[in-house]
């Protein structure tokens, strides 16, 4: 029996995997993210992902187990991205009102600049958060933003600047909702009202309104 012919492309893929396995993993995640954003979990195909990477379908299964495992890894990477960004803001050094305004502004900007994150969250809602539930890391990642919000809020209450009795999770969800909407509903709002929420002047207005709404909810 003759040995199978190994193509030049396959040789490059094998060399890439042995020389830079983490680089290969990142490449898979980047390609998979684009496919899941465009086609959802159900519509994305591992064959299509493999064809656009520097590796093979077999290695995708080696790294991630199956398509759902790959999808969860993409979700985890994206949630780690936003939580890492929030931790980098150093809000503890700012006065409470300024810190909360900065958190709202930064969250708003992050979602506008990372629309793929919003679209992945929308895809996961279609699947009733099944893959979020299966993740071993996302719940722990997401608790950090509530603690950041809690710290700012409690400092504001102690200083007599914020009204007491509010839940930090509700504050965080309000900031998130106001930030996500501009990306998640851009197409439908544009079609219904002829209004592009991501046009620069519209973004500037909505960003200011987001901060005003959050601080208005909090102030005594």
Q: Where are the alpha helices (DSSP H) in the chain?
A: 8-19, 21-43, 46-51, 57-64, 67-87, 96-113, 115-126, 130-134, 138-158, 168-184, 186-193, 200-218
Tell me the pLDDT of the chain averaged across its residues: 89
Task: Read off the tokens for 23.
Answer: 């680089």
Q: What is the pLDDT of residues 72-85, one digit of tens each?
A: 999 999 999 999 99
pTM: 0.85
> Would you place residue 2 in the very low, low, confident or very high pLDDT band (cuts 50, 70, 90)?
very low
pLDDT at 94: 96
**Three-state SS for 45?**
coil
Phi and psi dihedrals of 165, rounded to 5? 90, 0
Rounded distance, CA 81 to CA 99, Å?
A: 20
Which of 51-55, 94-98, 152-156, 197-201 comes out lowest in average pLDDT? 51-55
Q: What is the pLDDT of residues 123-152, one digit of tens each?
A: 999 989 998 888 888 878 788 889 999 999
Q: Has residue 15 got a pLDDT over 50?
A: no
Q: What is the pLDDT of residues 160-198, one digit of tens each?
A: 999 999 999 999 999 999 999 999 999 999 999 999 999
**Three-state SS for 162?**
strand
Rounded distance, CA 110 to CA 170, Å?
A: 19
pLDDT at 19: 61
pLDDT at 139: 79
Rounded distance, CA 55 to CA 145, Å?
A: 35
pLDDT at 55: 82
> Would you place residue 159 in the very low, low, confident or very high pLDDT band (cuts 50, 70, 90)?
very high
Q: Has residue 8 got a pLDDT over 60?
A: no
Q: What percentage of residues in the chain have a pLDDT greater than 70?
A: 91
pLDDT at 21: 80
> Would you place residue 3 in the very low, low, confident or very high pLDDT band (cuts 50, 70, 90)?
very low
Q: What is the pLDDT of residues 34-53, one digit of tens each?
A: 999 999 999 999 999 999 98
pLDDT at 140: 81
Decide: 116 and 54 in contact? Cβ < 8 Å: no
Mean pLDDT, to the nearest integer, of 11-34? 75
Q: Has residue 58 got a pLDDT over 50?
A: yes
> Would you place residue 11 in the very low, low, confident or very high pLDDT band (cuts 50, 70, 90)?
very low
Task: Read off the tokens for 19.
Answer: 């020389």
């Amino acid at each position: 029996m003759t040995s199978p012919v190994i193509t030049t492309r396959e040789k490059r893929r094998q060399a890439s995997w042995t020389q830079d396995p983490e680089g290969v993993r990142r490449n898979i995640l980047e390609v998979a993210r684009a496919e899941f954003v465009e086609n959802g979990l159900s519509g994305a195909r591992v064959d299509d992902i493999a064809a656009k990477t520097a590796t093979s379908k077999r290695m995708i299964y080696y790294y991630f187990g199956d398509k759902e495992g790959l999808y969860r890894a993409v979700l985890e990477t994206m949630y780690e991205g936003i939580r890492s960004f929030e931790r980098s803001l150093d809000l503890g050094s700012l006065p409470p009102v300024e810190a909360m305004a900065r958190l709202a502004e930064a969250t708003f900007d992050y979602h506008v600049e990372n629309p793929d994150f919003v679209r992945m969250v929308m895809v996961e809602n279609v699947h009733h958060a099944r893959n979020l539930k299966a993740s071993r890391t996302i719940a722990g990642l997401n608790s950090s933003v509530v603690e950041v919000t809690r710290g700012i809020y409690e400092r504001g209450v102690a200083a007599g600047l914020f009204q007491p009795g509010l839940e930090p999770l509700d504050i965080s969800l309000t900031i998130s909702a106001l930030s996500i909407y501009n990306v998640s509903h851009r197409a439908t709002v544009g079609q219904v009202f002829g209004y592009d929420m991501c046009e620069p002047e519209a973004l500037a207005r909505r960003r200011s309104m987001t901060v005003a709404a959050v601080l208005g909810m909090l102030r005594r």
